[in-house]
Every structure is written in structure tokens, then in C-alpha cells.
Structure 1
Amino acid sequence: MPRSRTIPDEQVFAAVQRLLDRGGDKAVSFGSVAGATGLAAPTLAQRYGSRDGMVRAARLAAWDALEARTVLAIAASAGKGPPGLLKAIGPVDPQGMAADLRDPELIQRAAAWRATVESALALRLGTGEKARESAALLFAAWQGQTLWSALGAPGFRLKDAAKRLT
């Protein structure tokens, strides 16, 4: 009797993310993920309940990873300015974030992450309302740059934006 194959959720989520990156939401099905992972489609259905449940679990895992990466980046970039923090966080998938905005829980996760990043930026920019406002503007500029650079548009230097805001 052949031994059933098991792989961790993280590998399934990575396959889901690759499919989303290549073909969008429509590219993900139990069949496509089964083909990418070697698991049987019924196994995936049993594990996640539905296709949407599988995609949602993958997106929640992506938020977990981003939040953990952000905490590490905040600590690792202590003593560096705002651009150092944003560089330490690294690229954030704007398409994935936009897709998450259809789910109330994922919207809350996005808002909490944004608040965390903006607070860390504000601490690097000074104190008071001006620092908080500048942090919000810098966050928006960073996310806008991420979106447009993913589309091949030329960007700007975050260091220059940070200087103008302080």
C-alpha cells in the first residue's frame, strides 16, 4: 500500500501564492494546487474545506510572515532613518494586498500593519503631530512606489521623500 504524501501548509501556501502571482485569483483551484504540490485535490479539499478557504489561509499566512518580517525589520533598523526601516521591511506585494481588501479580517490586518509601520516611521522622524503626518505620507509614498515599480514605472528615492517631509 503506498504511503500517503503530506506536506506542510507553508509549502501549499507558497504554491498558492505562486499561482496567484502568475495567473491571479482564477489560477487557483484544488486541481492547480494539487498539480503544483503533488497532493491530491481531495486532500486539499479535506484540509481547507473550500477553494476560498485555501486561498484565505494562504493570505493569512502571508500576513503572518509580513508582520513577523516587520517586527524584525524594526529591531534590525534601530538607529537608521525611515528609508532604512522601509528597506529592511523589503518589498510588499501590492496586488496581494489589494485582493485582501475584500475580506474584513484581512482589512484589519492591513490596517494594524500600516499603523505599526507608521508608528515606527514616526519615531524616526521626531515627535508630535508633524512626525505622525510625515510618517503617514512617507508610508503612502512607499506603497505607491511599490505599486508603480511593480508595473515598471520609474521610482524615486525614499531618502529624498523623507528629507522633504522632515
Structure 2
Amino acid sequence: MTRPKTQSDEQVLENAVRLMHEHGPEALTFERLAKACGLSGATLVQRFGNKTRLKQRTLLHAWDGLDDRTRTLADSVPKTPAGAIELLVALSQGYGGIEAYAEGLLVLREDLRDPVLRTRGAAWKTALCKALAACFAATPTPPRDIGLLMASHWQGSLLWWSFDPAVEVATYIEDSLSRFVATITTAAAREP
């Protein structure tokens, strides 16, 4: 008879995500995870197999969380350009300060190295762009590819903020996206 799990895989993976974000991807070892979650290293090896599989499962779990958060935010914001800005500002608040953002870039590197994780990233991009585009559906002349354009501007703004994080990330992103939306909607209205 097998022993009942004292912690679900999801609980263990939450600890693994935290380790990666706080100390970088290389910090995710069975030994460190065992200390973080209180299970033995042998138990973790039995559940996850090897370090490569543990890292992939951890990052897939993180993508699940981002998918859920994006969906929840997309459902809660007004379907207006201001709602699209609100959605991206809310997603930006998950980055925290500059140190957390920098560690997040190291985690992103791991996503880019793994084809399975790249596929998850591409699926998230598609869902996010669709949610952003829905916020422009009622505008008289929705700009073509507005979801992708806005998501791209958001990611670029995050990167530029990181070089000079003098203001809170949410403030920087909201200002940048507001100027972007004003510019692009004005240009779209002028098109014949």
C-alpha cells in the first residue's frame, strides 16, 4: 500500500517556482527543493525523475498559473482600450522590482531553451493577443493586429523600464501603454 502524499505535486512545484524566481534556475536542485518543501530528496526524485524533468514540470506549472491569471484578468477588465491597459498593468505587477524582473529573465531563458515550454509561451501569446484585441472590438476602427502590437509594446516597455527603474513598474507601464494606445488609435482613425 502506498503512503498518502503529504504535499501535492502542485504544492511542491509552487516551492520549486519560488526557488527559481528567488535564486535563479540553477538553484532548483532536489536537495534545495527538499529543504524548501520538507520532503526527502528521494521522494522528489521518485515523483519527478530527474532535474531536467523537474525543471520542465516547474515551468509548465508556472505557465499554468500565468494562463489562469491572464484569463481571470481578461474576464474582469472592461472591453475597452483602457481595459487592455488595465490588463497589462496588472500582469506587470507580478514582476515586482528590478531584482525580481532580472531573475525572471533567467527563468525565461529556460523557457526558450525547451521546445515544450516555447510552445506554451506561444500559446499564451495567442491568448493574450486575443484578449487584448477583444478590448478594441467596439472601437470604430480597431487597429489591425492591435493585440500583438500592444503585447509587443508592453514587453518592450518592461525591458526599457528595467534599464532605469526609477519609478514603479506599473506606473511606467501604464504611462507607456496609454501613450501607445492614444497614438495608434489616432493613426487608425485617420486611415481611409
Q: By how many angstroms is 1:152 displaced?
A: 5.1
Is structure 2 residue 88 aligned with structure 1 residue 86? yes
Q: Is the 8 A contact 1:122 1:132 kept in 2?
A: no
Correspondence for 2:128 among 114, 117, 123: 117
Equivalent residue letter for 1:72:
T
* 1:134-149 to 2 correspondences below 5 Å: 134-149=146-161
Question: What's the counterpart of residue 165 of structure 1?
Answer: 184
**Percentage of matched positions with identical amino acids:** 33
Q: Is the 8 A contact 1:34 1:41 kept in 2?
A: yes
Compute the RMSD of aligned alpha carbons: 2.7
In structure 2, the CA distance between the partners of 1:131 and 1:98, relative to structure 1 (3 Å rule), is: farther
Question: What's the counterpart of residue 22 of structure 2?
Answer: 22
Q: By how many angstroms is 1:103 displaced?
A: 1.1
TM-score by length of 1: 0.83
Q: Which residues of structure 1 form unaligned runs of 5+?
A: none
Q: By how many angstroms is 1:27 displaced?
A: 0.9
Provide the C-alpha distance between the structure 2 equivalents of 1:150 and 1:32, rounded to a whole number of angstroms.
Answer: 29
TM-score by length of 2: 0.73
CA-to-partner distance for each residue in 1:26-60, whole Å, 9 max, x for gaps?
Answer: 11111010111110000000000011111111111
CA-to-partner distance for each residue in 1:57-104, whole Å, 9 max, x for gaps?
Answer: 111111111111111111111334220222344536652333201111
Q: Is the 8 A contact 1:12 1:37 kept in 2?
A: yes
Q: By how many angstroms is 1:107 displaced?
A: 0.9
